[in-house]
Amino acid sequence: MHITALASLLALPALSLAAPTVKQVKQHTLGVKHSPYAPDHYDPYDRKVDSQAEGLHPEPFRNGKGTTVLGPRNRMREQQDPDMVRPPSTDHGAMPAMRWSFADSHTRIEEGGWTRQTTVRELPSSNQIAGVNMRLDKGVIRELHWHKEAEWAYVLSGEVRVTALDSDGGSFIDDLKEGDLWYFPSGHPHSLQGLGENGTEFLLVFDSGGFSEESTFILTDWLAHTPKAVLSENFRLPPELLEHIPLSEKYIFQGSIPGSIDEEKPRAFKQSKLNFTFNMLDVEPRVGSGGEAKIVDSTNFPISKTIAAGHLSINPGAMREMHWHPNADEWSFFIRGRARVTIFAAEGTARTFDYQAGDVGVIPANMGHFIENLSNDEPLEVLEIFRADRFMDFSLFDWMAATPQRLVRDHIFANHPKAAKEFLKRVEGGGKDVIKKQYYKSPEAGKELEDLREEAEEL
Ligand SMILES: *[C@@H]1O[C@H](CO)[C@@H](O)[C@H](O)[C@H]1NC(C)=O
Ligand SMILES: *[C@@H]1O[C@H](CO)[C@@H](O)[C@H](O)[C@H]1NC(C)=O
Ligand SMILES: *[C@@H]1O[C@H](CO)[C@@H](O)[C@H](O)[C@H]1NC(C)=O
C-alpha cells in the first residue's frame, strides 16, 4: 500500500468533511500515475473505468475508504463488474439484480443448432419480457409451432427464412438478414430456418417474463399425442400411412435446403396481406451528437402491438442521456461493446451495473437511468425493448429546459447564481440530443471548461 499517499490523503481534512474543491483534488493527484483502484486514488466525480480493456483488477477502495480482499475471488467476474466491486459514491440502498448474461443461461443443444433463454427464472426482475438466443445452421429448422406469447425478433447474424399464417387465413413467407425484425402476434403459427453458408443467429423476445422456450405448441409433439385414428380422419388418409411419423417433438433439426420464396410459396393458398417482418435499416434514426437511435414500434411496424424497441449506437465516450420510460420496463440486450448504467429507484436508492455483449439488463418503468459507452476497443450497440405499443421516454435535459428557469434555479442552485446561469444557458431550448457526445474531451469544450473551472476554484 502507498502509505505516504494514504497519509497525505488523511492529512487533507477537508476531503473527508465536505466535497473537495477542484484545486484540492488537482493538487492531491498531481503527478501521481497509478491505478484508479489504488488505495490512494481519489475521484470525487466517480468517473467510469473500463477495467477489462485496461487490464485492471477492481479493488474495493474509494476515496480513502475500503480495504483489500482477503478471501476467494472470481477475478474475471470482478473485471466485468467494476462498478459492483467499487461502486460510485452516489450508489445507495438495496436493489434487486438487474443484469444477467446469456453466458450464465443453460444451452439446449440440438441437431445443427442450440438455444438458451433469459426469463424471470434466470433474472427475477425480467417479469415483463423473456429473451431467447437461438442459432440455426444452414438448412436447420426451428420447427412449426405457436405459443401464448407474442414473439418479436432481431436477426443478429446470417440469414433466416420465416413462415407464418395470419388470422385471416393468409400464408406468409420472407427471408431476413442481420438487422431485420419479425413479430408474430400471440398464437400465430410460424417456423424458422437457417439460410446461407452459416445459417443464422437471432434474439427472440416474448411479451411475458414467464415464457419458456420449452413449452411451445409444436407440430410433431401434437401429432405424437393424438390417436392415429383421429389423424387419419382429420387428414383423410389411411392410418397405415401415418405409422412412421415422429414419436416426439423434433424442435430443432437439420432440414433440406430451401428453394427461393417464389418456388416455395403455397400456390393454392391465399397470401397474407400483413407484414410480419420489418427492415430496421429503413428507419430514419434520431441522430444525437454522440450516436443514433432507431425506433421501431406500432407507429412504423403496425403489427407489433405489444413490443416497442430502440436500436442504439453510442460513439466513443458518448452516452445515452439521463431519461426514463413512463410506459414499460426496459429490457436491454447488449450486442457489442461495454456500458455503465446507473439505475435510480427513488427513496435515495441507486445502483450501478456494467454490461457487455451478450448481457441482458432490466430497468423497471419510470426508474431514471443513462447508458455510458465504457468500451475503448469496441462500439457500443444495444437494443432497448419494451412491452408496449409505443416507444416513450422523458429526457431530464429537456424537462429542465421546459421548466421556468426560476423553478430550476430554486431547486438546484439556490445558493449559486453563477452556476445557475451557466446551467440554464446549457439547457435553454432543450437538446433533443438523446445520445450525447463526450463533452469534457471535445476540443470546443476545452477552453470554455478551463475558464469555468478557474471561476469555480475562485468561489
Ligand atoms: C461462415 O463461417 C466461416 C467459418 O467461421 C467463415 O470463414 C465464413 O466467412 C462464413 N461465411 C459467411 C457468409 O459469413
Ligand atoms: C408491407 O411493407 C411494405 C414495405 O416494406 C409496404 O410497401 C407495404 O405497404 C406493407 N404492407 C402492409 C399491409 O402494411
Ligand atoms: C464506444 O466508445 C469507444 C471508445 O470510447 C469507441 O471505440 C466505440 O467505437 C464506441 N462505440 C460506438 C458505437 O461508436
Which protein residue has the closest C-alpha to ligand 3 atom 3?
316
Tens digits of per-residue pLDDT, 245-265? 999 999 999 999 999 999 999
Ligand 3 centroid, distance to 378 Cα (angstroms): 6
Q: Which three cell numbers stand for residue 235?
A: 387428414
For residue 302, the SS3 value is coil
232 or 33: which leads in pLDDT: 232
392 or 23: which leads in pLDDT: 392
Average pLDDT (412-423) is 92
- pLDDT at position 364, please? 98
Average pLDDT (379-384) is 91
Average pLDDT (279-292) is 90
Tens digits of per-residue pLDDT, 58-77? 999 999 999 999 999 999 99
- pLDDT at position 21, please? 54
Residue with cell 405424437: 224
Q: Which atom of ligand 2 is nearest to the CA of 278?
A: 5
- pLDDT at position 432, please? 81
Which protein residue has the closest C-alpha to ligand 2 atom 8?
275
What does the alpha-carbon distance between residue 253 and residue 245 come to, in Å, rounded to a whole number? 15
416 is in an annotated binding site: no
- DSSP letter at 258 equals P
Average pLDDT (42-54) is 92
What does the alpha-carbon distance between residue 323 and residue 331 come to, in Å, rounded to a whole number? 15
Give residue ranges with CB within 6 A of ligand 1: 196-198
End-to-end CA distance of the chain: 35
Handedness of CA 327, 328, 334, 337 (dihedral sign): positive
Does ligand 2 have an atom closer than 6 angstroms to the CB of 298? Answer: no
Does ligand 2 have an atom closer than 6 angstroms to the CB of 232? Answer: no
249 is in an annotated binding site: no
Which domains are present in the chain?
Answer: 3-92 (no CATH), 106-279 (2.60.120.10), 284-441 (2.60.120.10)
234 Cβ contact partners less than 8 Å away, ≥ 6 residues apart: none
Ligand 3 centroid, distance to 322 Cα (angstroms): 19
Does ligand 2 have an atom closer than 6 angstroms to the CB of 106? Answer: no
Does ligand 3 have an atom closer than 6 angstroms to the CB of 356? Answer: no
Buried b vs exposed e over 33-46: b needs ≥16 C-beta within 10 Å? eeebbebbbbeeeb
* AA letter at 152: W
For residue 392, the SS3 value is coil
- pLDDT at position 120, please? 97
- Look at residue 27 and tell me whether its pLDDT is greater than 70: no
What does the alpha-carbon distance between residue 33 and residue 403 come to, in Å, rounded to a whole number? 43
Which protein residue has the closest C-alpha to ligand 3 atom 5?
316
> Lowest mean pLDDT: which of 289-298, 426-435, 437-446?
437-446
Does ligand 2 have an atom closer than 6 angstroms to the CB of 447? Answer: no
Average pLDDT (14-32) is 46
Our CA angle for 400, 406, 411, nearest 5°, is 65
Ligand 1 centroid, distance to 140 Cα (angstroms): 16
Does ligand 2 have an atom closer than 6 angstroms to the CB of 275? Answer: yes
> Lowest mean pLDDT: which of 184-193, 250-259, 279-288?
279-288
- pLDDT at position 459, please? 59
Confidence of residue 374 (pLDDT cuts 50, 70, 90): confident
- pLDDT at position 434, please? 87
Residue with cell 431530464: 396
CB 335 within 8 A of CB 412: no
Which protein residue has the closest C-alpha to ligand 1 atom 4?
198
Average pLDDT taken over every residue of the chain:
90
For residue 408, the SS3 value is helix
For residue 323, the SS3 value is strand
Active site residues: 384
Q: Which three cell numbers stand for residue 420?
A: 445557475
Confidence of residue 281 (pLDDT cuts 50, 70, 90): confident
57 is in an annotated binding site: no
- pLDDT at position 431, please? 82
Angle between the N-to-C axes of helices 417-427 and 405-412, in degrees from 0 to 180, rounded to the nearest 10: 130
- Look at residue 218 and tell me whether its pLDDT is greater than 90: yes
What does the alpha-carbon distance between residue 333 and residue 102 come to, in Å, rounded to a whole number? 10
Ligand 2 centroid, distance to 304 Cα (angstroms): 13
Ligand 3 centroid, distance to 290 Cα (angstroms): 10
What does the alpha-carbon distance between residue 219 and residue 221 come to, in Å, rounded to a whole number? 6
* Residues 76-81: contacts with CB under 8 Å, at least 24 apart: 79/51, 79/52, 80/52, 80/354, 80/356, 81/353, 81/354
What does the alpha-carbon distance between residue 418 and residue 420 come to, in Å, rounded to a whole number? 5
Buried b vs exposed e over 108-146: b needs ≥16 C-beta within 10 Å? eebebbbbbbbbbebbebbbbbbbbbbbbbbbbbbbbbb
- pLDDT at position 384, please? 97
Tens digits of per-residue pLDDT, 86-117? 999 999 999 999 999 999 999 999 999 999 99
**Strand ranges in 97-150 using DSSP code E only, listed in sequence order:** 99-101, 107-110, 113-118, 130-136, 140-146
CB 393 within 8 A of CB 432: no
Does ligand 3 have an atom closer than 6 angstroms to the CB of 380? Answer: yes
- Look at residue 406 and tell me whether its pLDDT is greater than 60: yes
* AA letter at 279: N
- pLDDT at position 438, please? 79
Q: Which atom of ligand 2 is nearest to the CA of 279?
A: 5
Among 156, 177, 198, the mutation site with the greatest number of ligand 1 atoms within 8 A of its Cβ is 198
